[in-house]
Structure formats: structure tokens, C-alpha cells
């Protein structure tokens, strides 16, 4: 639910999409027109909540007052699970407004599992962890990262938010096979799927901008993933935002990829 589109929703048919997703950082503790527009949207669609600032791989304590407010927000909109990223995004209360990857060591795994359990207890609902895109090299074998994510999800009894575009962007940038990575993930734990478009720089580096249409290769991957899980799929768009009608066309193409129309033969 982008503020860019919030006012347009009144003219959108309810069946155009099945749910809306919001970043809680834009709403928790705030009122005003956008909160009212969220309340109106929530009367028509289920709300899912995806955080940007809790840095699930961090070792710093949570800000308890924020987590308490977040829980009330999730309760208010009857959100069944919370999601955030397997990354660092703050240090000593200095927020970097980025999702920074970590090298996965056994100590890091233990820290992350503990943090996930603590957050899930505080929010009184499951937490889904999202794989991030990253550009640093030398963080370890990315395909092993998938095994480590599986281990974290298993140990913490957490869910997985699988970002298929992030897997694809990392695979192309770091030279591994996206399907090998996906094969190591516990797809039975996927609670939610993200998909988006990305930018290809002139030097070939792919940047996870969420500012383009989904590319054909990612449509193929999402079709393969969707055949193995019934998790809801969110189309993310964070930059270069087109009119909502254009995004609804992308949602319609996604529907055809995840549920191909029946083919009726004749003899
Ligand atoms: Fe995502």
C-alpha cells in the first residue's frame, strides 16, 4: 500500500488483488490521512505487515516500546504473521536505512535464532524471515547461505518469506544457479513470497531497485516456486512507481503464471 496509490484504491475493484501489504514503520504511532486510508483499505482487503528496521541478524536488543506498539498494530489488523529481513540495518541506534548482509557463522546463526524466538514471543505470532539481495563479495558460498537460512528457520521454528527476485539478482551477480539455491530452502516453510523488478546497469550488475517490471526469468522462477507452495505472493514496487492500473496488469500476469489456465483439448 503505497501512499502514491492510497487515494486511488477507492476506484479499484476489490478483486483486482487479494491483500495489501504495508511497512509498519510508516504507520505505527502515527495518525493522519494515510492511517485513515489504511483503515479504509483494511475494510476491503486483508493486511500483511512487512518490516524494514528490526534487522533479524542483529545482536542489539530490540527497542521494547516499538515492539509493543508493533504488536498492537498487528493485533488491530488481525495480521497472522510478521516479516522482516535476515540482515543488519542499525548499530547503536544509528539506523542505516539499508539491509546489510552478514557473513553466516555458527555464532551468527545462534544470535539470529535467539532474536527470532524473542521477537516471535513478544509479538505472539510467527515471524517470517526474508532472504536479502546483496552486492558484497567474500561473504561465503551463497548456495550454502540457503542451507543456513533453512537451519535458522528450523531452529527458530520460524517461517520463510521467500523473495524470488532477490534469489535471482544474487544468482546473476554472484554467479550461482538460482535453482540450486531454491532446492536448499525449506519451501514447506514459506509463508509469503515477494517478487519485484530490478535494474540492469550498463556493466551488467543487477540492482534490486523494485523500480522496474518483473523480468521474464523471474516469472519462470516464480511459476516453479508457486507449483510447490500455496503462499501468497506480493508484487513489490518501491521506485519509478507507475499508475496502479499498470501494476494490476502485472498482478494479472502473475496470476496466469501461478495458475496457468486449463488447456482443453479436442479430438
Ligand atoms: Fe522483498
Asked if 9 contacts 40 with a C-beta cutoff of 8 angstroms, the reply is yes
User: What is d(CA 162, CA 149) in angstroms, rounded to the nearest whole number?
Assistant: 11
pLDDT band at 170; cut points 50, 70, 90: very high
Separation of CA 15 and ligand 1 centre (Å): 23
Q: What would the pLDDT profile of 75-130 be if each residue is shown by its tens digit?
A: 999 999 999 999 999 888 788 888 999 989 999 999 999 999 999 999 999 999 99
pLDDT band at 262; cut points 50, 70, 90: low
Separation of CA 208 and ligand 1 centre (Å): 9
Enumerate residues with CB within 5 Å of ligand 1 (an ion): 163, 194
User: What is d(CA 68, CA 112) in angstroms, rounded to the nearest whole number?
Assistant: 20
pLDDT of residue 263: 64
Separation of CA 84 and ligand 1 centre (Å): 9
Q: What would the pLDDT profile of 15-53 be if each residue is shown by its tens digit?
A: 999 999 999 999 999 999 999 999 999 999 999 999 999
Separation of CA 262 and ligand 1 centre (Å): 30
Separation of CA 98 and ligand 1 centre (Å): 13
User: What is d(CA 148, CA 103) in angstroms, rounded to the nearest whole number?
Assistant: 11
The residue ranges of DSSP E strands in 56-184, in sequence order, are: 82-85, 88-91, 94-100, 127-130, 159-163
pLDDT of residue 265: 64
Separation of CA 1 and ligand 1 centre (Å): 14
Separation of CA 107 and ligand 1 centre (Å): 25
Amino acid at each position: 500500500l503505497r501512499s502514491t496509490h492510497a487515494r486511488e484504491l477507492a476506484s479499484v475493484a476489490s478483486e483486482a488483488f487479494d491483500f495489501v501489504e504495508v511497512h509498519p514503520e510508516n504507520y505505527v504511532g502515527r495518525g493522519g490521512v494515510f492511517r485513515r486510508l489504511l483503515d479504509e483499505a483494511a475494510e476491503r482487503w486483508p493486511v500483511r505487515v512487512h518490516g524494514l528496521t528490526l534487522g533479524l541478524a542483529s545482536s542489539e536488543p530490540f527497542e521494547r516500546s516499538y515492539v509493543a506498539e508493533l504488536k498492537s498494530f498487528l493485533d488491530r489488523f488481525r495480521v497472522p504473521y510478521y516479516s522482516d529481513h535476515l540482515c543488519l540495518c542499525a548499530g547503536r541506534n544509528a539506523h542505516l536505512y539499508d539491509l546489510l548482509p552478514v557473513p553466516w557463522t555458527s555464532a551468527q546463526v545462534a544470535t539470529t535464532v535467539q532474536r527470532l524466538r524473542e521477537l516471535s514471543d513478544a509479538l505472539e505470532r510467527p515471524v517470517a524471515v526474508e532472504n536479502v539481495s546483496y552486492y558484497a563479495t567474500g561473504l561465503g558460498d551463497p548456495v550454502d547461505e540457503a542451507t543456513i537460512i533453512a537451519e535458522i528457520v528450523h531452529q527458530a521454528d520460524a517461517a520463510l518469506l521467500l523473495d524470488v527476485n532477490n534469489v535471482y539478482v544474487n544468482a546473476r551477480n554472484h554467479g550461482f544457479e538460482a535453482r540450486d539455491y531454491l532446492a536448499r530452502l525449506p519451501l514447506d516453510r514459506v509463508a509469503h513470497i515477494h517478487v519485484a523488478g530490478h535494474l540492469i546497469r550498463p556493466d551488467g550488475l543487477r540492482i534490486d531497485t523494485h523500480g522496474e517490471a518483473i523480468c521474464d526469468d523471474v516469472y519462470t522462477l516464480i511459476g516453479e516456486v508457486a507449483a510447490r507452495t500455496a503462499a501468497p505472493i506480493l508484487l513489490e514496487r518501491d521506485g519509478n512507481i507507475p499508475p496502479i492500473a499498470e501494476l494490476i496488469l502485472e498482478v494479472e500476469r502473475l496470476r496466469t503464471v501461478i495458475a496457468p489456465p486449463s488447456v482443453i483439448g479436442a479430438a
